A and B are shown apart, each in its own frame.
Chain A
């Protein structure tokens, strides 16, 4: 019997058939592949990419109609409106973050790839942010202008949403992983995710509000940044654990 390929395996386990460990994919490369795959898939279905943005635009449009067309009044609530709309729009896309991967067996392959699942979950969350959070942050200034915010507020609003949506995507990824395998999980996902997102809403809305008033947004932006960093370190761990459990 040919002994050559697996001779080294007993010791390291990881060594591939040709006997060289260098053939294995490094974690970062694997995470990049996950990211690339999700982005490619999203761009194959471009129509769906627009949906959260359209939702965001419609929700922000509801408020002038429901409250008043007076820009002075709208300006007072603009920050809150932007953030509630962004929170809901980000939530909308979450349900599908892991769903297709769970159905077609991709998640199983991720869990069995020998790569740390935490890193792969982080890559998937990053893709979610690039596809929803970042576009939201980019169109939010337009919505803010339509709600009476001065042009000087644009950088502040952009910055607060860009940082805040990172935290929202991370928190949302936990909720999406927890509700895997549950039928009609949409409402439950909202019930799990929204209370955990409140700090992001509070700090983010405050930052946007200060930006609209033309004041310094440093303090709330730092708090948002802290939340994002905390999320980056902890959320992928939790979603990886939840995904593994969903495969049991």
Chain B
């Protein structure tokens, strides 16, 4: 009984239909939350006493940075499940994650750089978080490159899954080493990226934005997952019925 949900998650038609049913719910709640957070962040929140109006960039930088890591973790978990239980749907989910994660990592890098310019006076600072973000971007590129280089879907799924798992083991090590390296070289006077103390009217838009982006990710994932399932199940009989209906 307790494991039936897990087995059903392994069934492509079940997941396909579930994804179709859930997509509107996640999309609309994400849209509402993000719009509310935008209003809260740009209008209601008072300026920061140190960073002035510039701190409002945190409402886009923090969520994109959060997405970059969360999507990678999700991708690696899905990949591991796919490897261990030979679950096609899990591989499809991992494949769906990569482009989403890569694009948000790119956004986190750009917003980080924009955030950094007025604070540091340069467009790029070898700040540990930005550096880690850059490496994460390369990890995504490598993952997508490997996937794209292998023609057979099944082999591409399984090979890139090994890479995702290896990568997720490495991410904390990379982050630690980069922080360690940075602490050796950084002059203490340089201000670190965005840690204004947030409270009340400044905090809730951030939390709302984080939640909104997370829901947005789920919605995007569900749509892409359906596309990936369609590509993997093209010979299955359930699909013929599904399309006929």
Binding site for B on A (CB under 8 A): 174, 178-179, 181-182, 185, 188, 191-192, 194-196, 198-199, 202-203, 206, 223, 227, 230, 234, 238, 241-242, 245-246, 248
Contacts of B154 in A (CB 8 A): 248
Question: Judging by beta carbons under 8 Å apart, are B158 and A196 in contact?
Answer: no
New contact pairs (11) apart from A195-B170, A242-B162, CB-CB < 8 Å? A178-B162, A188-B142, A191-B138, A195-B174, A196-B170, A202-B180, A223-B180, A227-B173, A230-B173, A234-B166, A248-B158
Is B22 at the interface (CB under 8 A from chain A)? Answer: no
Is B29 at the interface (CB under 8 A from chain A)? Answer: no
Question: Judging by beta carbons under 8 Å apart, are B142 and A199 in contact?
Answer: no
| Total CB contacts across the A-B interface at under 8 A | 77
Question: Judging by beta carbons under 8 Å apart, are B146 and A245 in contact?
Answer: no
Q: Which residue of B lies closest to A247 (CB)?
A: B155
Secondary structure class of chain A's binding surface, majority of residues: helix
Question: Judging by beta carbons under 8 Å apart, are B162 and A238 in contact?
Answer: yes
B99-146 with Cβ < 8 A to chain A: 135, 138-139, 141-142, 145-146
Contacts of B139 in A (CB 8 A): 195
Instruction: Give the CA-CA distance A234 to B142 in the complex, in Å.
Output: 20
23 residue pairs from A and B, CB less than 8 Å apart: A174-B162, A178-B163, A181-B150, A182-B149, A188-B149, A192-B145, A194-B138, A195-B138, A195-B142, A195-B174, A198-B174, A199-B170, A199-B174, A202-B177, A203-B180, A206-B184, A234-B166, A238-B162, A241-B83, A241-B162, A242-B159, A242-B162, A246-B155
Q: Which residue of A lies closest to B138 (CB)?
A: A195
**What is the size, in residues, of chain B's interface with A at 8 Å between Cβ atoms?**
29
**A198/B178 contact (C-beta < 8 A), A238-B166, A246-B155 known:** yes
Is B181 at the interface (CB under 8 A from chain A)? Answer: yes
Is B165 at the interface (CB under 8 A from chain A)? Answer: yes
Instruction: Give the CA-CA distance A202 to B183 in the complex, in Å.
Output: 12
Q: Which residue of B lies closest to A226 (CB)?
A: B173
Instruction: Give the CA-CA distance A92 to B225 in the complex, in Å.
Output: 37
Pick the contact of A199: B138, B155, B177 (CB < 8 A).
B177
Mark each residue of chain B from 148 to 164: 1 if its CB lies under 8 Å from any CB of chain A, else 0. 01100011001100110
6 smallest beta-carbon distances between A and B, as pairs: A199-B177, A195-B138, A192-B142, A245-B158, A202-B177, A202-B181
Is B169 at the interface (CB under 8 A from chain A)? Answer: yes
